[in-house]
């Protein structure tokens, strides 16, 4: 990733990297999302967790589940991160739907590459003030993206107003590269932990909005 972001991460106190687990509710949005909801769940629960591995690296996970279906189903992003450098060591994505499981994994990512889980982790720790180009790993492939600070916004958590900073991740169109078909919006509370209070994960054609259940 850009040296500015990595340098900022190195300056963070250990307390900012403590283990945590945050709970969310999600729902599908938009016309195409409503159509997708005819075939897939339209709402459910999600969790964003961070834990320390025996190696000392961090594991960041975003798990999305639904209470609309009887059989177990989920979609998840998971990344292993070196806390000293902010480097994403490995990334995995998996899903289980109608008894069919799909898994993608990268055993070793090049420096400067993130996935959805490690992007959330990195941006909330660095809160960049200028646009940054990044490489994102998604379903086993790499794509160029642009991270852009979208400014302060007020969001709701449990009916209470929370002041946040909004960041967007959008695909970059390069003639020689694949174009990412996803989008990611993140709203971080303006508190010492930069708590992610809202996330919008778009994967064509559906858009999933995740909202924090209760601020810790």
Residue-by-residue DSSP string for the chain: --HHHHHHHHTS-GGGG--EEEEEEEEEESHHHHHHTTTS--EEEEEEEEEE-TTS-EEEEEEEE-SS-SS--EEEEEEEE-TTT--EEEEEEEEEETTEEEEEEES-PPTTEE-HHHHHHHHHHH--SS-EEEEEEETTEEEEEEEEEEEEEEEEETTEEEEEEEEEEEE---TTSPPP-EEEEEEEESSTT--EEEEEEEETTEEEEEEESS--
* pLDDT for the residue 28: 86
Give Cα separations from 194 to 2, 59, 63, 128, 177 (angstroms): 20, 18, 20, 12, 33
pLDDT of res. 47: 95
Cβ distance 42 to 68 under 8 Å? yes
Per-position pLDDT tens, the chain of length 216: 332 232 233 233 333 345 899 999 998 887 555 555 445 677 889 999 999 999 999 999 999 988 766 666 788 999 999 988 888 999 999 988 767 788 888 876 777 788 999 999 999 999 999 999 999 998 889 999 999 999 999 999 988 999 999 999 999 999 999 999 999 999 999 999 999 999 999 877 778 899 999 877
Looking at residue 17, what is its pLDDT? 45
Tell me how far apart the alpha carbons of residues 116 and 132 are, in angstroms, rounded to a whole number: 16
Q: Give the CA dihedral 35, 36, 38, 43, nearest 10 degrees.
A: -120
* Residue 56 φ then ψ, to 5°: 100, -15
pLDDT value at position 32? Answer: 55
> For residue 5, what pLDDT is reported?
31
Q: What is the pTM of this model?
A: 0.84
pLDDT of residue 67: 72
Q: Which residues are 175's β-sheet partners?
A: none
If one counts every other C-beta atom within 10 angstroms of the C-beta of residue 19, the result is 10
Spatial distance between the Cα atoms of 124 and 16, rounded to a whole number of angstroms? 10
């Amino acid at each position: 990733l850009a040296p500015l972001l990595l340098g900022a991460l190195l300056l963070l106190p250990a307390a900012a990297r403590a283990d945590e687990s945050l709970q969310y509710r999600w729902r599908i949005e938009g016309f195409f999302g409503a159509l997708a909801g005819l075939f897939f769940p339209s709402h459910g629960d999600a969790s964003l967790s961070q834990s320390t591995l025996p190696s000392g690296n961090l594991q960041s996970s975003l798990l999305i589940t639904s209470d609309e279906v009887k059989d177990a189903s989920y979609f998840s992003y998971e990344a292993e991160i070196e806390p000293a450098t902010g480097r994403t060591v490995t990334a995995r994505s998996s899903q289980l739907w109608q008894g069919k499981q799909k898994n993608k994994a990268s055993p070793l990512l090049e420096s400067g590459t993130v996935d959805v889980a490690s992007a959330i982790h990195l941006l909330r720790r660095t809160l960049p003030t200028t646009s940054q180009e990044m490489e994102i790993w998604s379903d086993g492939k790499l794509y160029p993206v642009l991270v852009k600070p979208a400014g302060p916004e007020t969001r709701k958590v449990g009916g209470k107003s929370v002041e946040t900073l909004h960041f967007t991740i959008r695909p970059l169109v390069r003639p020689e590269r694949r174009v990412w078909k996803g989008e990611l919006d993140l709203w971080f509370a303006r508190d010492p932990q930069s708590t992610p209070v809202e996330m919008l994960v778009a994967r064509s054609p559906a858009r999933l909005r995740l909202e924090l259940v209760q601020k810790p």
